Amino acid sequence: MSGSQTECPLTGAALLAAGPELDHARQVRAAHGKQTPDPAVRSSIRAGIEHRKDHTPSRETAERMAKAYRAALIPRRPAGAKAYEKTVRAAETYRAGVAKLAQEGKLEWDAVHALWRDIRRQVIPGYDALPSHEQQFQAEALRRNVKGYLKRRGIKLPRPVRSRHK
């Protein structure tokens, strides 16, 4: 090494385990063009070093521990099947329609019923050609699926008011 560079006795994990020398070590690492790990990585390395002081795990155990740690860090995807495209489309159309009706001050049962009539004709292919019992089944299933879809996502919509029949 040349005289302008400082030789650092701390490298790798020892660098991260060092307490007061850490600032000096950062300066030396920066002088050598090495990046300092972010705080989350640094704390993980410190935890590993502390664990190794008390226990000396075999390679198999260490790999199992690393796998378990990784599994705990990365969130799992939500359980359940992905929603059908027609359910998602119907839910978005319903949300937009209810928002528009609420903004106009026309959020009544009759208006929401008409909105559902339009939605099921848009979303269910060949709806008008289906027999009436099949139309009813498809419409109920679509409304039930949309309701569950919105509930699982925590989406609350304004409730329609009862229409006063004349």
What is the per-residue pLDDT across 86-102, written as a single tens digit (0 to 9) for each? 999 999 999 999 999 99
In a domain, 162, yes or no: no
Q: Are residues 29 and 68 in the same domain?
A: yes
3-state SS assignment for residue 150: helix
Which among 88, 134, 96, 89 is positioned nearest to 115, based on CA atoms? 96
Full-prediction pTM beyond 0.75?
no
Residue 132 confidence class, pLDDT cut points 50, 70, 90? very high
The enclosing H or E element of 148 equals helix 132-152
Question: Mean pLDDT, to the nearest integer, of 68-72?
Answer: 85
Question: Which of 52, 73, 94 corresponds to the end of one domain?
Answer: 73
Q: Are residues 53 and 31 in the same domain?
A: yes
In a domain, 6, yes or no: no
Least confident range from 12-16, 39-43, 81-85, 123-127: namely 12-16
CA–CA gap between residue 45 and residue 87 (Å, rounded): 46
Written as six digits, the tokens of 98 are 């209810």
Q: Are residues 57 and 99 in the same domain?
A: no
Report the amino acid identity of residue 163.
S
Residues in the chain: 166
Q: Are residues 63 and 107 in the same domain?
A: no
CA–CA gap between residue 23 and residue 12 (Å, rounded): 15
In a domain, 159, yes or no: no
**Average pLDDT score over the chain:** 81
In a domain, 115, yes or no: yes
Q: Are residues 145 and 95 in the same domain?
A: yes
CA 103 to mean position of chain CA atoms: 30
Could you give the number of structural domains in the chain?
2
Determine the number of helices (DSSP H) and then strands (DSSP E) in the chain. Answer: 7, 0
CA–CA gap between residue 99 and residue 105 (Å, rounded): 10
Query: How many of the other CB atoms lie within 10 Å of CB of 139?
Result: 19
Question: Mean pLDDT, to the nearest integer, of 50-59?
Answer: 83
Question: Which of 73, 98, 119 corresponds to the end of one domain?
Answer: 73
- Structural domain that includes position 56: 12-73
Question: Which of 47, 73, 99 corresponds to the end of one domain?
Answer: 73
In a domain, 127, yes or no: yes
In a domain, 42, yes or no: yes
CA–CA gap between residue 95 and residue 100 (Å, rounded): 9
